[in-house]
Structure 1
């Protein structure tokens, strides 16, 4: 009893010391306005600096990495969190993502942080990941799905996006383009993945519970990278904060996806749809038509995880890129003019002053538009950071030692702002940097331009994303004038997806009668 009481008193005393140090450190950090590297405080590590900059996390990461020359070790709480090596050095990234890929899986920490994704392709490692990727690659690149992609994307632009834009232009009202793009990508992702169109992109702007749940989950996952595990466990235990919102979000995602699977199973049982459909089929139909393939059992758990992973990839990344693209174009009218001229070059002279949409073939030839989208992804990558966990101790090309139970994080957002990588004009929006002297798209190595990942885990949906982004960008720029509301605040949100914190408020006017 005495020993137990002594231990309790000791624990209480240690907690009091910890809180006192944390309070002092946070007070110091909030009072210090200079740009400097974070202080490594006793017990609390560099957490106070993270707390101080919660409202501007990506800007702060950029400052720290630039001050440190490209790589920086973030010291976590001494008793419960792993240290993090932040690096943007292309040599390190090439080594991790390609040269020594097998020693740098996503790891157990990644799976815990992103547990809402289950055992889907983003969390999977080793043989499980290889099998999932091989299957997804074969389905996405199959001619049937490609036909389905082209047809569905065109239909959603013509019958979903355009009616909303026409309504907004006619009313002369302010619209949140980020919301419009999220509705567009949610609808088209749902069609491509499940075959069902939820019809969220309409002039009524209905509430989208699934999308709200995704936003809540992405924000909560972001804060899991900052707050100590003990604090997160306390939230889960007491049922409050972002961990509670994440729990509720998961319920919504699980319920919605279960409904999709049930409806698809009913369709297949009635044979109202088959994988031989000449117009192509959605991915869920293809998965469910093979109860077991490539050693994967496509049961409800597998289907649930696969659908949620595809929704994260399809809905959020493309809508984020489109939002930042239109903001950058609005700030650079000369870029907008060049895109318009490029679009007109593919239109017969007598039709250049008329309202029209563009075919997939026409879009594939738009070099300057492609460069402008790449430039957007360089400066505002939808997935602003990613991380790995070494299996065995290793030394990176920069000389930094890494090992198990350590996180290696690279900030894609910061990479686009490094003069050492992109030159002294790295902060400028210049689509021309993506065009060669011969007038073709210039290839940049993936370990330098990481928007679509690199190495064996290179994004399978890159072609799908460009098809959709070009279709939307061309339709809006040729047919409408976009004017961002004067004084509208533009800043990244605190999320694992680089959304705009306040959306993108704008007015649209029709260019052609």
Structure 2
């Protein structure tokens, strides 16, 4: 139900916003001048909100600093909400597996991501189980799975590598994150709708829809940490981040409804040129009576689109950045690829080596490098749950009905008690057995990048195959250089994109 405000209430809310802005400036400046505890002070009325706002520009590292000082768990009090912030693996296992029914996403999570309300991303209980069962049945199609792998391989060969070859030949700096965003949008949309949007093409069309999806995640983070009445008032007044989000919602709805209408008119499983039959996800839902409502179908498809896009789209720029800065690790990956590449060259293949999904399947070190990237830079740095009934965490902390739980994956990777004294170092070897021939088992409540328990990501294996295909092709065919003078830091968002992009220069590698 919408909350209605009188003019007097709206004026009061506006005054509060101004007051918070002054608090933000004051506490941000004071936090820089004192080397004291990072734990936020609990003030009258506003509680810890001023401290949170003062550090919102650097929230992920701030949460990590809090949890380091507090010992993996901390209670955050802000007006209208009690938050239990944790990165304790024991608590994570309790929340996601042992007692998962007591920790749903909750109504407020659905409100925060209201454009996906009713989709698998926001629902709980029986509704979630039905949707997951349906999606797993869709993913069980051999045609769809093989089609997704083939789509990735083809887009690498015909889209990504030609673009990189051109940029390398002209020695032109470019934003790797934007290019990957275009590539991954096409990669996610093609098997979803059976149509390639071709954002990564010679004319580089508008990225309005991709940017709108990023806005959903950015404003979603703002909604997570602000009192609900604040962001709902801003939504009603159509000001601040809510104004930007409203425009993004219109773009997203327009795009998804256009895709749905095209499918209804054209029917079937047809690719762009109409010559080859494709198995796409939308065709599996379009005639399902459970998704007869277009808004519900759109919410479901958007959830799947974001799930397919964000893990790969956020991880690839980080691993290219890391490998460019760590030539020794890059060399090990190339040595692992060398036998496959040498065989292709001997067979007289083209100068650009493309690695088939089946060929990268058993590459252990490449997978370890991907996992280490996801550990330090998880695509979703924070997970959110709600407490259904009073409970006691394995850490001994009590949580109460209605409390919000924020699980910081970003912080967990930076805890010595979880990953050891070298926790902040990029070290793929931590994933390998002593002989280096296989990956060590790491429980999902410690490595949460693909979720854990009943809500474990069903598309995990597909995402890993696609990332391997991309990384193998790029690192074998090109040398990468990060342009100096950039500020590489996470964006304030529910997905861990780079705030300022990633400007790189590529050079064609002689092999």
Q: TM-score, normalised by structure 2?
A: 0.92
Q: Match of 2:3? A: none
- Once the two structures are superposed, what CA deviation does each residue of 1:228-271 show, in whole Å capped at 9, x if it has no partner? 223213322222211111111111111100000011112217x8
**Partner SS, residue 347 of structure 1:** helix
Q: Match of 1:133? A: 132
Structure 1 residue 32, shift from structure 2 partner: 3.0
Say if 2:312 is the partner of 1:313: no
C-alpha distance in 1, partners of 2:424/2:99? Answer: 31
Structure 1 residue 51, shift from structure 2 partner: 1.6
Q: Which residue of 322, 327, 331 corresponds with 1:333?
A: 327
After superposition, the Cα gap between the structure-2 partners of 1:350 and 1:314, relative to the gap in structure 1 and judged at 3 Å, is closer
Q: Match of 2:472? A: 474
Question: Is residue 70–residue 89 contact of structure 1 (8 Å, CA) maintained in 2?
Answer: yes
Question: Is residue 493–residue 500 contact of structure 1 (8 Å, CA) maintained in 2?
Answer: yes
Q: Which residue of 292, 311, 316 corresponds with 1:322?
A: 316
Q: Match of 2:293? A: 299
Q: Match of 1:487? A: 485
**Partner SS, residue 341 of structure 2:** coil
C-alpha distance in 2, partners of 1:91/1:500? Answer: 30
Question: Is residue 113–residue 216 contact of structure 2 (8 Å, CA) maintained in 1?
Answer: no
Question: Is residue 18–residue 44 contact of structure 1 (8 Å, CA) maintained in 2?
Answer: no
Q: Which residue of 22, 37, 40 corresponds with 2:39?
A: 37
Question: Is residue 177–residue 501 contact of structure 2 (8 Å, CA) maintained in 1?
Answer: yes
**Partner SS, residue 312 of structure 1:** helix
Q: Match of 1:380? A: 377
- Once the two structures are superposed, what CA deviation does each residue of 1:52-99 show, in whole Å capped at 9, x if it has no partner? 11221111111011110000000112xxx2110001111111001000
Q: Match of 2:4? A: none
- Once the two structures are superposed, what CA deviation does each residue of 1:353-403 show, in whole Å capped at 9, x if it has no partner? 953100111110111000000000000001000111111111111111112
Structure 1 residue 325, shift from structure 2 partner: 0.6
C-alpha distance in 2, partners of 1:350/1:209? Answer: 39
Q: Which runs of 4+ in 1 moved over 6 A?
A: 8-22
C-alpha distance in 2, partners of 1:10/1:365? Answer: 61
C-alpha distance in 2, partners of 1:188/1:465? Answer: 11
Say if 2:441 is the partner of 1:443: yes
Say if 2:502 is the partner of 1:508: no
Q: Match of 1:55? A: 57
Q: Match of 1:212? A: 211
Say if 2:454 is the partner of 1:418: no
**Partner SS, residue 164 of structure 1:** helix
Structure 1 residue 297, shift from structure 2 partner: 3.7
After superposition, the Cα gap between the structure-2 partners of 1:359 and 1:45, relative to the gap in structure 1 and judged at 3 Å, is same
C-alpha distance in 1, partners of 2:150/2:378? Answer: 27
Question: Is residue 371–residue 435 contact of structure 1 (8 Å, CA) maintained in 2?
Answer: yes
- Once the two structures are superposed, what CA deviation does each residue of 1:106-144 show, in whole Å capped at 9, x if it has no partner? 111111111121210010110000000011011113212
Structure 1 residue 40, shift from structure 2 partner: 0.5
Q: Which residue of 454, 459, 462 corresponds with 1:461?
A: 459
Higher mean Cα deviation, 369-378 or 15-24? Answer: 15-24
- Once the two structures are superposed, what CA deviation does each residue of 1:270-297 show, in whole Å capped at 9, x if it has no partner? x868xxx996501001222x423xxx34
Question: Is residue 444–residue 451 contact of structure 2 (8 Å, CA) maintained in 1?
Answer: yes
C-alpha distance in 2, partners of 1:302/1:11? Answer: 32
Higher mean Cα deviation, 251-260 or 396-405? Answer: 396-405
Q: Match of 2:98? A: 99
Structure 1 residue 197, shift from structure 2 partner: 0.5
Q: Match of 1:282? A: 280
Q: Kindly tell me the number of residue pairs found equivalent between the two proteins.
A: 495
C-alpha distance in 2, partners of 1:465/1:376? Answer: 14
C-alpha distance in 2, partners of 1:388/1:96? Answer: 8
C-alpha distance in 2, partners of 1:19/1:243? Answer: 17
Higher mean Cα deviation, 24-33 or 447-456? Answer: 24-33
**Partner SS, residue 481 of structure 1:** strand
After superposition, the Cα gap between the structure-2 partners of 1:356 and 1:24, relative to the gap in structure 1 and judged at 3 Å, is closer
Higher mean Cα deviation, 419-428 or 235-244? Answer: 235-244
C-alpha distance in 1, partners of 2:220/2:422? Answer: 33
C-alpha distance in 2, partners of 1:15/1:190? Answer: 40
Aligned pairs for 1:73-92 (under 5 A) are: 73-77=75-79, 81-92=80-91
Question: Is residue 168–residue 507 contact of structure 2 (8 Å, CA) maintained in 1?
Answer: yes
